[in-house]
Amino acid sequence: MSSKKITFDDIATYTNFSKSTISRYFNKPDLLSEESQEIIRQALIDLNYHENKLARALANGQSEFVGIIIPNIYLDYYAEVLNQLLGTFEKHGYKFLVFLGDKNKEIEKEYIEELLAFNIEGLIELSHSIPSKELVEYNIPVITIEREDENINSINSDNYEGAVMATQHLINNGCDMLIHVNTIIPPNAPARKRIEGFEDTCIQNKVQFKTCIYDFGNSREETEETIKQFFDECEKLYSGINKGIFFANDHYAIKFLNLIFKKYGYLPDEYQLVGYDNSPIAQDSILKLTTVSQQISELTTEAMRELVLMMEERKKSSSPKKIPILHKKVKPKLIIRDTTKPLNNIKSLTDGSM
Amino acid sequence: MSSKKITFDDIATYTNFSKSTISRYFNKPDLLSEESQEIIRQALIDLNYHENKLARALANGQSEFVGIIIPNIYLDYYAEVLNQLLGTFEKHGYKFLVFLGDKNKEIEKEYIEELLAFNIEGLIELSHSIPSKELVEYNIPVITIEREDENINSINSDNYEGAVMATQHLINNGCDMLIHVNTIIPPNAPARKRIEGFEDTCIQNKVQFKTCIYDFGNSREETEETIKQFFDECEKLYSGINKGIFFANDHYAIKFLNLIFKKYGYLPDEYQLVGYDNSPIAQDSILKLTTVSQQISELTTEAMRELVLMMEERKKSSSPKKIPILHKKVKPKLIIRDTTKPLNNIKSLTDGSM
């Protein structure tokens, strides 16, 4: 088979139609008879013709490309977000040009320039480097997921609500002291709301609480060392107290659970643990972890739905009417598994009222 | 800022150069004086000009796109492969159009048609649906990773060697009985070599062995149920025997380890476990798992290196000279952690001779 590109001329010669008839077939096929269409259809197969969408994109400005900039895909959360976004091809037909943006702002801007050079119709930004006020200036449809979004449309998990669910569950289960373990979060990042949700719920319920913010470092070893320190502190300072610990992610919770299990061989009643994210690890651990699901499938469905609306609006007009900035929140879901349980029946009944 | 596309005419008007001078700047800049280049460079910034690579791709046939078809990215292995492939942008400059191909052959062929319509320069295929003899017919540079590759260039982990390393390690550690646990693998898939590597090593070392192939089903629950059955069998049939168990992946190994730990509170000497893949879970588990790393970074570096060579060859000539099919193997690496240990000192010394 030859790799020579088949042109309209070639198809015209092969079918004995004029070149303009061939052009019409691609642009306004209804103007041709069924019979002519069938002859051309067969010719395309015979000649092994591939439609040149690049040429079409150039002609009408509709590349069908959406750019995605994502910090990485070794974290379960990002892998699942990308997995779900790519899966929307079947529904919307947009193809995805994917860049890893876990770098600095200048490099990320180069990626956006690169994406613009290929006429992307829209951009999904998950990376944190470029402030939203600069993203706006690119003047293309953009939607962000779980990052600073002051000046731009975004879809985020309702982090406040997720923290409230986790905290209320621990309180309902009869924990006497609540602890929240989190890392240093960039200012304005939506995930900060988890701290607020935790603290507000504790205050409203008049429960003793502690918020522990650690620098977990940049390696698995540093993270493990930090969790070990926190575990030793819990054992020393809060022995005999029913502790409800709400971790900022499942990985911290699992590392803590492993330390408990190695020491006791089981999870003592005085510990109740809740993670965040519903990562695969939450079900592969020694005990299945109670956790908060961010409902990634809903999050990505909504993100694409909004982006498609913006892109379609843009196709109608290159200076679409100003509409208010959209900050949509997706309700998370508490998933109760084996690391939490009611310490007495009376209190547990209140779970039903949530 | 206006979203109107800036043309060569606009740049010519702005700089008072002719349109052909502007064109020369983009195609043969060396023909212009340094001073002229600088004037045009500044004009591009002032006008907020974005290079139209789509137009360039159409003109010279070099889209800079590489297509990737990957079964999914919720499995750690695929997520890491994609992570590493996307990371090669910095080195090679190729951009990636990514499709999830965990579907049927017809749908996957549509994806390839879609990729061809956008003039991809090459394709990386990880999905299993399309036989290699059909991939060849697309007549573009293709490289496959860990799938049937009879008629096409491929980069695979040396699955046989990985199994030999794992098995020999268990034998050297003094295990009296070797067991390999695997799932039903498609014919011709490179991963089948792990079974051969295991059995050959046992036979050569005259060690008692058993190969257990299970249908692990399609859900986490079915997988867990199957591992539970296997665990009960081990406890019943091989009690008191030093068992070395080599699992086809880390997830099976971890689920088995969890069952042991829940029963005993520790890992008894009579169990030694080796996984495969060096997934993140291998380090997040209750004990860190001994496992075989497929060296994904090397695998993807090699895959891109070979694909780039093929794509460059293609740029020189549309009917490049026939070269023999390349099947490159990357040597895996045994990573010894906490689920294996020498049962006596004499035997363990032989590990050094591997």
| Model pLDDT, residue A2 | 38
Residue B20 tokens, joined: 């052909």
pLDDT tens across B182-206, in order? 998 877 888 899 999 999 999 999 9
Long-range contacts of A11-20 (CB under 8 A, 24+ apart): A11/A40, A11/A43, A11/A44, A11/A47, A11/A49, A14/A43, A14/A46, A14/A47, A15/A39, A15/A40, A15/A43
- Decide if A137 touches B, using CB distance below 8 A: yes
Assess whether pLDDT exceeds 80 at residue A353.
no
From chain A, pick out residues whose CB is under 8 angstroms from the CB of B284: 251, 254-255, 258, 281, 285
Whole-number Cα distances in Å, A8 to A39, A50, A213: 14, 11, 65
| Model pLDDT, residue B225 | 95
Assess whether pLDDT exceeds 60 at residue B1.
no
- What mean pLDDT value characterizes chain B? 89
Please count the residue pairs, one from chain A and one from chain B, whose beta carbons lie less than 8 angstroms apart: 143
DSSP 3-state of B345: helix
pLDDT tens across A231-241, in order? 999 999 999 99
From chain A, pick out residues whose CB is under 8 angstroms from the CB of B266: 265
- Decide if B251 touches A, using CB distance below 8 A: yes
What structural domains and CATH numbers belong to chain B? 8-51 (no CATH), 65-157+297-330 (3.40.50.2300), 159-294+334-353 (3.40.50.2300)
| Model pLDDT, residue A5 | 67
Assess whether pLDDT exceeds 70 at residue B14.
yes
- Would you place residue A8 in the very low, low, confident or very high pLDDT band (cuts 50, 70, 90)? confident
From chain B, pick out residues whose CB is under 8 angstroms from the CB of A114: 53, 95
pLDDT tens across A123-147, in order? 999 998 899 999 998 889 999 999 9
**Residue B302 and residue B300: Cα distance in Å, rounded?**
5
Instruction: Report the residue of A284, A314, A322, A337 to disrupt the B interface, i.e. the one with the largest count of B CBs within 10 Å.
Output: A284
From chain B, pick out residues whose CB is under 8 angstroms from the CB of A53: 114, 117-118
**Contact between chains at A96 and B100 (C-beta distance less than 8 A):** no
Between B214 and B347, the higher pLDDT residue: B214
| Model pLDDT, residue B2 | 38
The H or E element spanning position B109 is helix B105-117
pLDDT tens across A278-287, in order? 998 999 999 9
Share of chain A above pLDDT 90, in %: 66
| Model pLDDT, residue B318 | 63
**Contact between chains at B95 and A96 (C-beta distance less than 8 A):** no
A215: exposed, middle or buried (Cβ count in 10 Å: 0-12, 13-18, 19+): exposed
Rounded average pLDDT over A325-336: 96
- Would you place residue A306 in the very low, low, confident or very high pLDDT band (cuts 50, 70, 90)? very high
Assess whether pLDDT exceeds 60 at residue B94.
yes
**Residue B84 and residue B293: Cα distance in Å, rounded?**
15
- Would you place residue B75 in the very low, low, confident or very high pLDDT band (cuts 50, 70, 90)? confident
**Residue B297 and residue B307: Cα distance in Å, rounded?**
15
**From B117, B137, B258, residue closest to A51, measured CB to CB:** B117
Of A229, A205, A158, nearest in space to A354 by CA: A205
pLDDT tens across A66-124, in order? 999 999 888 888 999 999 999 999 899 999 999 998 678 888 998 998 898 888 999 99
Q: What one-letter code names the amino acid at B228?
A: K
Assess whether pLDDT exceeds 80 at residue A60.
no
B207 Cα to chain A: minimum distance (Å): 32
From chain A, pick out residues whose CB is under 8 angstroms from the CB of B89: 99-100
Q: Within A51-179, where are the H helices? A: 53-60, 76-86, 89-92, 105-117, 132-136, 159-172
| Model pLDDT, residue B98 | 94
- Ordered DSSP codes for B206-242: T-EEEEEEE---SSHHHHHHHHHHHHHHHHHHSTTS-
**Contact between chains at A50 and B285 (C-beta distance less than 8 A):** no
B114 Cα to chain A: minimum distance (Å): 8
- Would you place residue B273 in the very low, low, confident or very high pLDDT band (cuts 50, 70, 90)? very high
Number of Cα atoms under 13 Å in the Cβ half of residue A219: 3
What distance separates the 2 farthest-apart alpha carbons in chain B?
Answer: 90
* DSSP-assigned letter for residue B324: P
Rounded average pLDDT over A315-341: 88
| Model pLDDT, residue B180 | 98
Rounded average pLDDT over B123-133: 93
**Residue A291 and residue A286: Cα distance in Å, rounded?**
15
Long-range contacts of B214-221 (CB under 8 A, 24+ apart): B214/B181, B214/B182, B214/B183, B214/B184, B215/B183, B215/B184, B216/B183, B216/B252, B220/A283
Name residues whose C-beta falls within 8 Å of residue A109's C-beta, 6 or more positions apart in sequence. Answer: A130
From chain A, pick out residues whose CB is under 8 angstroms from the CB of B104: none
pLDDT tens across B233-268, in order? 999 999 999 999 999 999 999 999 999 999 999 999
User: Computed from CA positions of residues A81, A87, A89, A92, in that sequence, does the dihedral angle turn out positive or negative?
Assistant: negative
pLDDT tens across B314-354, in order? 888 766 667 789 999 999 999 999 999 999 754 444 444 44
| Model pLDDT, residue A41 | 85
Name residues whose C-beta falls within 8 Å of residue B70's C-beta, 6 or more positions apart in sequence. Answer: B78, B81, B82, B98, B99, B100, B101, B126, B127
Q: What one-letter code names the amino acid at B181?
A: V
Assess whether pLDDT exceeds 50 at residue B87.
yes
A340 and A292 in contact (C-beta within 8 Å)?
no
- The ipTM, to two decimals, is 0.80
- Decide if B94 touches A, using CB distance below 8 A: no
- Would you place residue A154 in the very low, low, confident or very high pLDDT band (cuts 50, 70, 90)? very high
Q: Within B61-104, where are the H helices? A: 76-86, 89-92
State if pTM tops 0.90: no
- Of A165-174, B31-40, B121-130, B278-287, where does the model show the most confidence? A165-174
- What mean pLDDT value characterizes chain A? 89
Rounded average pLDDT over B136-156: 93
- Would you place residue A318 in the very low, low, confident or very high pLDDT band (cuts 50, 70, 90)? low
Q: How far apart are the first and last CA of chain B?
A: 66
Assess whether pLDDT exceeds 90 at residue A164.
yes
Share of chain B above pLDDT 70, in %: 94
| Model pLDDT, residue A120 | 92
Q: Within A205-327, where are the H helices? A: 220-237, 250-264, 281-284, 296-316
Query: What region, left, alpha or beta, does residue B54 occupy, with left being phi > 0 and alpha being psi -120 to 50 degrees?
Result: alpha
- Would you place residue A1 in the very low, low, confident or very high pLDDT band (cuts 50, 70, 90)? very low
| Model pLDDT, residue B4 | 59
A-facing residues of B in 259-278 (CB < 8 A) are 261-262, 265-266
B249 Cα to chain A: minimum distance (Å): 13
